[in-house]
Structure 1
C-alpha cells in the first residue's frame, strides 16, 4: 500500500475530529459580549484540544515522511491512534460543559495518555518494519519527549482526583513541550 493513502485517511479523520469539536460550541443566547462568558469554558477546552490535535497531526506527518512501505500492522496501529484521538471531542465537550470538573479532567487525561501510547506503538511498529537503521529508526531512538509525556499524563490523571486545575496545567505543559514540532525526522530528510 502507498503511504499516501494512509496519510490522506489520517488527515481526513483529524479534520473531522476538529470539525466535531467546534460544532460543540453553540453561540450564546444573548447579543452582548458579556454573554460570551457562558461559552468560555467550552472555548477554552476547544483551544486545548485543537492544540493537541494539531500537535498529533504535525508529528504524524513527520513520522510518515520517513516511511518507505506500509503493512497491515501499521494500518492497525494507525487506526488505534485515530481511535483514541477520535475520543477527544467527547471529552472536550464534557470538560467544557462541566467547567473542568475532576471527573472530566481525569477522563481527558486518560484519553491523552492512551493517545500518546498509541502514537508510540505506531512509531515502534514503523521502526520494526523499516528497521532501527532506517530514517525513522534513527530519528526516534531517543524519544525522551514521548516517554516524559506519558509520565506527565499519569501524574495529571492522579492529581485530577484531588485538584483538576493542577492536572489541567500538567496537560497544558505537555502540549507546550510538543508545541515545537518533533523535527528529528525532518532534519534527517534534509541531510
Structure 2
C-alpha cells in the first residue's frame, strides 16, 4: 500500500489536535498585562504541547518521505499513536489547571511515553512492510531516540515525584530538544 493518503490523514489529524489545543487556552478576563500574565502557565503547557505535536509531525513526515510501502500493522499502530496524541488537548488543559499536581503531570508524561513506545513498534512494523528499502532499514536500525526520550521522561517522573511535579512536562520538552540537537552535536 502506498503511504501518501495515509500521510495526508496524519497531517490533518495533527492540525486538528493543534487547533483544539489553541482553542483551549482561556482568554484574559480583561485587556490588561496582569490578566494576560495570569495565564502564563496555560501558555507554557500549550508551548510544550505544540512542540510535542510538531515533533511528532516532523519525525513522521521525514520518515514517510523515505517509506515506499506500508501495511495494516503500520496503519493501526500509527492510528493508535495518533489516538494517544489526540488526548493532548485535554491533558494540556488538565495540566494548565493543575500545574503543580503530580497526577496531572504524570498523565501528561504517560501520554508522551506511550506515543514513543508505540513508535518503536511502528518502526519495527515499517521495517517488515518495506524490507527492500535500504534507506528505511538504515534509518530505523536503532530506536535510540525513542529509548532516550522515555529515559529522560522517567528521570522527570523521579524529580517530579520527589521534588517538583512540573519537572515531568519539562522533561518532555527537554527530551525533544536533546533529540533535535543530537545530529548537530555529533557533527
TM-score, length basis structure 2? 0.89
Summarize the alignment of residues 56-75 of structure 1 with structure 2, pairs less than 5 Å apart: 56-75=56-75
2: distance between equivalents of 1:29 and 1:170?
Answer: 31
Find the aligned partners of 1:161 and 1:73 in 2 and give their Cα distance.
36
Q: How does 1:75-154 map to 2 (within 5 A)?
A: 75-131=75-131, 134-154=134-154
Q: What is the CA distance between 1:15 and its match in structure 2?
A: 0.4
What is the alpha-carbon distance in structure 1 between the residues aligned to residue 77 and residue 65 of structure 2?
16
Q: Structure 1: give runs of 5+ residues left out of the alignment.
A: 184-191
Which stretch shows the higher mean deviation, 159-168 or 6-15?
Answer: 159-168
Residues 157 and 167, structure 1, Cα contact 8 Å, conserved in 2: yes
In structure 1, the partner of 2:7 is: 7
TM-score normalised by L of structure 1: 0.87
Question: How far, CA to CA, are the matches of 1:89 and 1:132 in structure 2?
Answer: 38
**Structure 1 SS opposite 2:9:** helix
What secondary structure, in the 3-state scheme, does the structure 2 residue paired with 1:164 have? coil
Cα distance in 1 between the residues matched to 2:60 and 2:26: 30
Q: Deviations over 1:54-96 (max 9, x none)?
A: 0110000111111111211111011011011111111111011
- 1:172 & 1:47 partners in 2: Cα distance? 9
Which residue of structure 2 aligns with residue 167 of structure 1? Answer: 168
Q: Following TM superposition, by how much is the alpha carbon of 1:118 offset from its aligned partner in structure 2, in angstroms?
A: 1.4
Change (3 A) 1:77 1:168: closer
Deviation at 1:180, TM superposition (A): 4.7
Indicate if the aligned counterparts of 2:45 and 2:95 stay in contact, CA closer than 8 A: yes
Aligned pairs, number: 183
Change over 3 Å in CA distance of 1:123–1:143 after alignment to 2: same
Unpaired runs of 5+ residues, structure 2, are none
Whole-angstrom CA distance in 2 between matches of 1:71 and 1:145: 24
Q: CA deviation at 1:171?
A: 2.1
Displaced runs of 4+ in structure 1, greater than 4 A? 180-183
